[in-house]
Amino acid sequence: MSERIYGEVPGVSEGMWFPQRGDLSRMGVHRPPMAGISGSAREPADSIVVSGGYEDDEDDGDVLVYTGQGGNDPLTKKQVCDQDLNRGNRGLVLSLMEGLPVRVVRGANLGSPFAPEAGYRYDGLFRVEAYWHEPGISGFRVWRFRLGKIKPIVARPRSISVAETSALYGAQAVGEPAARQSLLVSRIVRNSAVAITVKRLHRFACQVCGTCLETPAGPYAEAAHIRPLGTPHDGPDTAENVLCLCPNHHALFDLGGFTIEDDLRLTGTRARLRTVRAHPISPDHLRYHRAHYRHGSDDLRFVAAAAAE
């Protein structure tokens, strides 16, 4: 996995055009010479090519519904048997679970208004948002992946028309039936290379309760930053500032539900954080978290609840 690049490839900017598949491979945008998915059963996917090779693909510009690989006849492009959740298909699920970006390349395809007229175009980074299976148009099982475009963050507030915002966040009172527009983002989990390393060191077991969530595509855990990332805390994205937690303890940790002492005891209890030798935790960052997230005498109660699970 050391050679796979997740994210932008140096020297290749969004919108760049390539005449041949071989050019994509040579530039490192999409390495496999034939396969549509660059990834494997053990390695998260780093890129895909959308080229109309599957009859079930859907392309809405910023949202792609991409069909997994296998089971189709390369000549007719029709499915001729069920797809397995393996190879690149599993790689895309790993990208979902690790939160890694996938480069999307569109190839010429007369059926899509988003495809280039000829050759291939690099269309930026997408996030795998969901995966599922269904009978494809030909009746055989296909694996499907929804990919959403990752938007750059603009540094300053820009002017937004009413039409734009209300299309997304329609005004509504709580209690009224909610339209699709009212959906809101609530909890964002950030991941990185460090996060993956730490989760692997703990074999995806929560450092508080030992839970390892088993899914059909493998174990799932989250990386929690002790001193938070971003303004104004600016905690580092280093292993000593990261814990491997189940989603429940991640939510509790971020909401001040428990804190951790220098000796790794959960504050107010005898329970101790589970550790592995290769992953030391920074007492400085634990101290920072306690100083900002500990709720005085309340702490005991919430820690007890956390440790009792």
Please say which residue, 60 or 73, places its beta carbon nearer to a copy of itself.
Answer: 60
Nearest Cα neighbor of 100 from 7, 29, 194 is: 7
For residue 144, the minimal CB distance to a copy of itself (Å) is 8
Q: Smaller CB distance to a copy of itself: residue 75 or 308?
A: 308
Please answer whether residues 27 and 8 qualify as being in contact, where contact means their C-beta atoms are separated by less than 8 angstroms. Answer: no
Structure token pair of residue 249: 């303890």
Residue 165 CB neighbours (<10 A): 12
Nearer to a copy of itself, 74 or 180 (CB): 180
Please, which residue, 73 or 298, has the CB nearer to a copy of itself?
A: 298
Matching residue, tokens 């959906």: 183
Closest distance between a copy of itself and the C-beta of residue 299, in Å?
Answer: 8
Q: How far is the CB of 236 from a copy of itself (least distance, A)?
A: 8
The distance of closest approach from Cβ of residue 80 to a copy of itself in the complex, given in angstroms and rounded to an integer, is 20
Is the peptide bond between 232 and the residue preceding it cis, with omega within 30 degrees of 0?
A: yes
Identify the helix (H) or strand (E) that includes residue 26: helix 21-27
Q: Which is nearer to a copy of itself, 119 or 235 (CB)?
A: 235
3-class secondary structure per residue, 228-292: CCCCCCCCCCCHHHEEEECHHHHHHHHCCCCCECCCCEECCCCCECCCCCCCCCCHHHHHHHHHH
Q: How far is the CB of 27 from a copy of itself (least distance, A)?
A: 12
